Structure 1
């Protein structure tokens, strides 16, 4: 009898120590949606964010902020277990996962990756409408408009290469390409045969060194090798840092990215 009572107490203790069952709130499976939701709704409405936002290479929000939230790996099982009021996911979410969300009766919103400032503003309005944050959405779009007005190019365009990471260069048809053009920086990736976004090894640019390189990985191995080889050729290439948090997403990132790009252009 005593052994049975002891076992019951131990089981009760284990149950008390386990995680509480949660329900409601918003679950985000996309790092860009993570930062957008943080700008639109109170933190207590966010039940979980994507695990990408706790990865320095993928996040668009400060890591100390991201680490305050629960994360998921995006599997249907763990999302359904949270019983959220809304799931915000990528337009590239696999069909099987979408079907699982549908069977579970979850309200879902699938977001694409806007390639223009205008499309990004439209997406902000869409998400704000779904989460009942129209006023905050309008205020965020007003900040984007103000940043556009304050950073418009005043002189001739300066060619520049923007490396997203390693030897992956940003090309035309992207949000970053549009913002660069707006402040007076011409995306020079096309000069080396790169369209959209693609690999641009240092061997390719050594023959024709660029005047300006923007890079988020100042301490990375690829960037260090590129810097060393360009210096060895006597190239006058200037390299300036461009924070990774400004690269991965649009939305709330746009004003800060525009200001940084404009500052770089003024410094040339």
Structure 2
């Protein structure tokens, strides 16, 4: 069967299901005008903002990733919340009145929702702190909790304001599983610069997130190499490089810093913690 025909059949099925897409009868806790009562989020970063900003009773479902503490900063908040894998039929069956999606995930589902006249709120990827603030406020307004968005932005700003930047611009290289790094012009790059440091990935000549050859990492002579410390519980090829003898030698020299990737994967007040930890490690290294 041709892919276009299959997509058309699936779209037709979803359209049929969508006849009942009108919101389910509101519960007492969701009776506030203009405040959605059945929110579904379709990617991890959407999960984190929705779970932090909306009332628990407003959330109909999040992704299965939200409850995994290895990658999520809201695992506790996600406990007991229904989950989906972002399939169109799952979403329609939940009869949401707000769907929050990411710009690069569940694109088939997003496309089908648009085709049946139910476009989701699509979140971009902030490249700086202004973008983080704007996205927090965007989601807060969408879930009908603007005051919580303002409070979250204030928490972020307080965290950033308390950071004492490094006295001198030490050079930092981030190495994640599979040797992915932080690209120049990204939120991770803004985090590094806010700590008063220099992103070595920019010197290597990368203009987007990509894999860094271990030889390049070794020759870059970074003052600090930031590694993920999120224990997976099982060995993996993606993590194997992070235990290479070269990096073990850097650990022995006190030139590595472990920060869980989950703290700076998505926009939120937790990114201020990364800035603070980078700055503190740089000050210690500079002594």
After TM superposition, the score normalised by the length of structure 2 is: 0.76
CA drift at 1:154: 5.2
> Taking structure 1 as reference, are residues 176 and 26 closer, same or farther at Cα in structure 2, changes over 3 Å only?
same
Q: What is the aligned partner in structure 2 of residue 122 from structure 1?
A: 134
Q: Which residue of 1 aligns with 2:218?
A: 206
Calculate the aligned-residue CA RMSD, in Å. Answer: 2.6
Q: CA deviation at 1:223?
A: 0.5
Corresponding residue of 2:13: none
Change (3 A) 1:111 1:100: same
Change (3 A) 1:25 1:218: closer
Offset, 1:236:
4.3
| Structure 2 counterpart of 1:145, from 157, 162, 166 | 157
Q: 1:48 aligns with which of 52, 61, 66?
A: 61
Q: Is the 8 A contact 2:173 2:199 kept in 1?
A: yes
| Equivalent residue number for residue 31 of structure 1 | 44
Q: Distance in 2 between matches of 1:98 and 1:150?
A: 39
CA distance in 1, matches of 2:177, 2:51: 25
* Distance in 1 (alpha carbons) for counterparts of 2:229 and 2:251: 22
CA shift for structure 1 position 231: 5.3
Pairing partner for 2:274 from 257, 263, 266: 257
Match of 1:224 in 2: 243
Q: For structure 1, list consecutive stretches of 5 or more residues without a partner in the other structure.
A: 1-21
Cα deviation for residue 254 of structure 1 reads 2.3
Whichever of the two has the greater Rg, that structure is 1
Change (3 A) 1:187 1:119: same
Classify 1:255/1:105 alpha carbon distance in 2 versus 1 (closer, same or farther; 3 Å): same
Quote how far apart the aligned CAs of 1:29 are: 0.3
Distance 1:221 1:154, change over 3 A: closer
Deviation string, structure 1 residues 215-234 (Cα, Å, up to 9, x no partner)? 11476311101xx1255699
- Report the structure, 1 or 2, having the larger strand content: 1
Q: Aligned residue for 1:87?
A: 99
The answer to whether the 8 A contact 1:171-1:189 is kept is yes
Structure 2's unaligned 5+ residue stretches are 1-22, 25-36, 232-238
| CA 190–27 in structure 1, closer or farther in 2 if over 3 Å, else same | same
Shift of 1:106: 3.5
Paired positions, count: 244
- Per the TM alignment, residue 56 of structure 1 is displaced from its structure 2 partner at its CA by 5.3
Matched with 1:11 is none
Task: Return the offset for 1:252.
Answer: 3.2
Cα distance in structure 1, aligned partners of 2:178 and 2:111:
36
Higher mean C-alpha displacement, 153-162 vs 102-111: 102-111
